[in-house]
Amino acid sequence: MYYPDEVIQEVRERTDIVSLVSGYVSLQKKGSNYFGCCPFHNEKTPSFSVNTKEQFFYCFGCHKGGNAVTFFMEMENLTFPEALKELADRAGVTLPQAELSEQEKRRIEERTRLYDLNKEAARYFYYQLTRTDQGARAREYLKDRGVSEEYMRRFGLGYAGIGRNTLYNYLSSKGYKTEEMEKARLITVRNGKIYDYFFNRLMFPIFNSAGQAIAFGGRVMGSGEPKYLNSPETEVFNKRRNLYAMQFAKKSRRKEALMVEGYMDVLSLHQAGFDNAVASLGTALTQEQALLIKRFYNDIVLIYDSDRAGTQAARRGIPILEQAGLRVRVLRVPDAKDPDEYLKKHSPEDFQALIDNAMNPIDFEMLVLREEHKGGSAEDKVETVKGMAQRLAEIDNDLERQIHIQDTAEKLGVSAEALRKEVEEIRRTTGILDRRPASDNAAQGREEKITARTQLLSILIQDQSLVPIVRKYIEPADLKPPGASEELEVFVRVAQALYRGSEEGRTILAADLISQGADAKDQERITSLLQYPRPESKEDLEKLLSDVIRKVRLDSLEARLEALSSGESTNEDLAAMQGIIIEKRKLQNFMIHIP
């Protein structure tokens, strides 16, 4: 541990996990827990749960789980100390000086150096753009595109010259090492020679939402491929988790975010007063990016190019944004291929009018289908109706689905009842209609899959009054199956924590037990223990406990018996083997009774 257990516990207790998770996931209360779509994998049916009483999360689909600190680390790509400090600051908890391991110190130092390296590189590129003859071509390009000097400075635009190692030489003069520059992906080393990763490109520094320089995008000046080149991923740069200009957009007073395709679209929109514009980083929109937007906005307008590629990107992005809990609208820019081109012909007020009249996703899908089947024949109309029925079938909310069915039927000139039947048939035949929450599905067959040890630990975590009874028969070491890998040592640590809590007369919170995990995988294993059902009746509980204790004891006895019989046996070994055989016979009728 890098901080005392009691400090970590205080931070967790003063962090409402539901409020924390709600900043990233749209949650709905079901019973005593909250459910939403998992932020760690794509899904349509909510399988991600948050337990308010025990303060932990768990996904029945991908099986990720943990407590508030674990969740924050995953979502923000932070180390444990970084996540704990941020949560402590939010909760008003003063942390003592951290007792960092050497490994953690090295990682924090490395990340700090990467941020500093990117910042220094950005300064170098900006100087090359604004103060050198080599940067004249890039300056002229920006002038032709209507980018003012103010916004060149605001966005930190730069230029990577035609030299192949000028950035390397500059950073070396500042005391940075070759290995550090290579880790920052600012240089490449081939056949013992060092080259700058970017050259002869207009440079767009990429910042995280906290305003730290983490990477770069570069547009080639003149001919060359690729036209746009982004930094490879590093310790501080994950393109799935970041958006261009988010450091500005998060501060905007506008009510919705604008998602566009390119750097120049973002620049043009910000310069026109739309400081809520962001762009993805050369990839299709990701779930992590959608959740990042949800932290600051409830509404978003997709403004992709009107060509086929832009249309398909919008269609793929809509469900990802909706799953993140965002209200989505789509804007097709008329009389231009993108916002940048439109704003060169029209006023910001004209563009705002387009935003105000942006389409809902259903109308957008109808427009696209009509464009795909625009022949005007009966077959074209049938294909359009079928396509819309498929789209409408994906709407989970009954009321919303029925309203859209009625509206779509009127616009397509078909019977609402006929369209409703088609939609419900799709829902029935594809299994959508019969989908249950993943938590229900996970319960099916659970008894067949879980081991005796996980069953036993699950019962003890849920009802810690049973610990004194069980410990008469089971030692913590018994909870690691004989011959199992070291990964399952975490079961032993959980049992030790439960036994220790019982001795001290206190109940151990699930969030505290999760901390027994040495890493994320361990924490997921512990969290998964919390999902198994506890028998409701005393009789069923006694039977299950007796069965699993018997199984655990038999496994341990079999392992001891095998060890004793593997070589030449002494008289003492034979006596011990006889004792084990007698104990195994006694276990056949083993039954415990709960007072």
Residue 185, sorted as left (phi over 0), alpha (psi -120 to 50) or beta, turns out to be: left
Q: Which of 59-68, 447-456, 577-586 has the weakest average pLDDT?
A: 447-456
Q: Are 197 and 231 in contact (CB under 8 A)?
A: yes
Residue 471 exposed, middle or buried by CB count within 10 Å (0-12, 13-18, 19+): middle
Give pLDDT tens digits for 80-90. Answer: 888 888 899 88
- H, E, C per residue of 531-548: CCCCCCCHHHHHHHHHHH
Give pLDDT tens digits for 299-315. Answer: 999 999 888 888 999 99
- Quick check: bond before 232 cis, omega within 30? no
Q: How far is CA 1 from the centre of its chain?
A: 25
Q: How far is CA 329 from the centre of its chain?
A: 23
Q: What are phi and psi of 357, to 5 degrees?
A: -110, 20
Residue that has been written with the tokens 């004793």 in this structure: 564
d(Cα 230, Cα 219) in Å, to the nearest integer? 9
DSSP string, 486-515: GGGHHHHHHHHHHHHHHHTT-PPPHHHHHT
Average pLDDT (392-399) is 86
Average pLDDT (32-38) is 88
Q: How far is CA 127 from the centre of its chain?
A: 37
**Distance linking the first and last C-alpha atoms of the chain:** 38
d(Cα 141, Cα 203) in Å, to the nearest integer? 12
Confidence of residue 523 (pLDDT cuts 50, 70, 90): confident
Beta strands 56-59 and 48-51, pairing class: antiparallel
pLDDT (0 to 100) of residue 527? 81
Confidence check: pLDDT of 440 > 60: no
Instruction: Look at residue 29 and give its three-state secondary structure.
Output: strand
User: What b/e string do you get for 225-236 counting C-beta neighbours within 10 Å, with b at 16 or more?
Assistant: eeebbbbeebeb
Could you tell me which of 153, 179, 181, 152 has the C-alpha nearest to residue 166? 181
Could you tell me which of 158, 163, 254 has the C-alpha nearest to residue 206? 158
pTM: 0.66
Instruction: Look at residue 120 and give its three-state secondary structure.
Output: helix
Give pLDDT tens digits for 230-264. Answer: 999 999 999 988 999 999 999 999 999 999 999 99
Higher pLDDT, 352 or 517: 352
Higher pLDDT, 258 or 226: 258
